[in-house]
Homo-oligomer: A and B are copies of this chain.
């Protein structure tokens, strides 16, 4: 999705490489607290499901035994009339599903996640990790961190529930050490695989009581703690902050920052003309010198000191951080793993949402930060 700008040459990728073997092999669900824990707060109790067949996004609370007989009733009914999607999700107790495809575990990502001030008892976390050596290592580290919080953390730190999926997938790029000139050629296969991972995660975890889905990449290590509230306050179908990266500027001899995610853009006549001349399986990519699209990139719209809530309409979005109303996904908006209007993955998602009547909104002055390798 996001990668540094650089001049590279386009190579047609073999279609075979994008047919990846998807297979969900592992799911782990973490209970919020042990039922006998004495510190179970009233607020948490209110959001807890009373029924063991409740969806994975609701924590389960056994009802106390009545007349010596315990156990759930044979038929239970959930009235979700009050599942809302509003600009004040905390007050309305709206459930947020935070979805993260994770190839590597970054401590900075986890620490930032824990600092989010949105009530954790309303947050369900969903992860998908590849079944590779690196994915195994990340899974182990993730589980360790989860156990620390969910078993031993303060009650307010604990998340409502956590779901981990493991995915059998042929790594679309043989090695991360491939020469720079292959990068653009690999983009299509890599992003098709990423699109399928996102879809597997989304289709498997979205529940009936989910109000919002926050897509948050595993290498986002710094956001305002009020990220969810801030983005939701716009009450837009898709809301995207501006993804930057901190780095040491050798010239200035000081820390500096630069724009990072170039997938948030407004369309241009040049890009549309490029697309109209392409073969049906070709895709437009942003941020490559030999495919100049002249799109207006949100990455360059940042104005220091300006209102962080300034909105711009977007035609393509990245997935580094992206808040989506659950109804957009429920209407069918997903991440195309195939060229969709010559767009793929998150950029194709924005186009698909638009076809379903939902417009993407960017916040050029609202910054989140990407890890710097």
List chain B residues, Cβ under 8 A from A206: 203-204
A330 to B30, CA, bound (A): 22
Indicate whether A208 sits within 8 Å of B165 (C-beta atoms), given known contacts A36-B71, A73-B31, A75-B147: yes
A62 interface contact, C-beta 8 A: yes
List chain B residues, Cβ under 8 A from A83: 24-25
A146 → B minimal CB distance (Å)? 8
A59 to B35, CA, bound (A): 19
A262 → B minimal CB distance (Å)? 23
List chain B residues, Cβ under 8 A from A203: 202-203, 206, 329-330, 332
A29 to B73, CA, bound (A): 11
A56 to B196, CA, bound (A): 23
List chain B residues, Cβ under 8 A from A34: 71-74
A129 interface contact, C-beta 8 A: no
A369 interface contact, C-beta 8 A: no
Indicate whether A331 sits within 8 Å of B199 (C-beta atoms), given known contacts A55-B55, A71-B62, A206-B204: yes
Shortest Cβ distance from A37 into B: residue? B74
Is B330 a contact partner of A22 (Cβ separation < 8 A)?
yes
List chain B residues, Cβ under 8 A from A357: 19
A148-167: CB near B (< 8 Å → 1, else 0) gives 00110000000001010100
Shortest Cβ distance from A202 into B: residue? B203
Is A80 a contact partner of B24 (Cβ separation < 8 A)?
yes
Is A330 a contact partner of B199 (Cβ separation < 8 A)?
yes
A317-336: CB near B (< 8 Å → 1, else 0) gives 00000000001011110111
List chain B residues, Cβ under 8 A from A78: 26-29
A128 → B minimal CB distance (Å)? 10
A54 to B202, CA, bound (A): 17
Is B23 a contact partner of A327 (Cβ separation < 8 A)?
yes
Indicate whether A25 sits within 8 Å of B329 (C-beta atoms), given known contacts A73-B34, A74-B151, A334-B334: no
Is B202 a contact partner of A79 (Cβ separation < 8 A)?
no
A51 interface contact, C-beta 8 A: yes
Copies per complex of this chain: 2
In A158-181, the 8 Å CB interface with B consists of: 161, 163, 165
A135 interface contact, C-beta 8 A: no
A163 to B76, CA, bound (A): 11
Is B337 a contact partner of A331 (Cβ separation < 8 A)?
yes
A59 to B207, CA, bound (A): 16
Is A200 a contact partner of B330 (Cβ separation < 8 A)?
yes
A292 interface contact, C-beta 8 A: no
A311 → B minimal CB distance (Å)? 21
Residue in B55, B74, B163, B196 whose beta carbon sits within 8 Å of that of A150 in the complex: B74
List chain B residues, Cβ under 8 A from A335: 332
Shortest Cβ distance from A348 into B: residue? B332
Is B204 a contact partner of A330 (Cβ separation < 8 A)?
yes
A81 interface contact, C-beta 8 A: yes
List chain B residues, Cβ under 8 A from A29: 51, 53-54, 76-78
Residue in B25, B79, B334 whose beta carbon sits within 8 Å of that of A332 in the complex: B334
A69 → B minimal CB distance (Å)? 7
List chain B residues, Cβ under 8 A from A23: 327
List chain B residues, Cβ under 8 A from A140: none
A134 → B minimal CB distance (Å)? 20
Closest 9 CB pairs of A and B: A52-B60, A199-B332, A338-B355, A35-B71, A29-B53, A332-B334, A27-B208, A52-B52, A200-B330
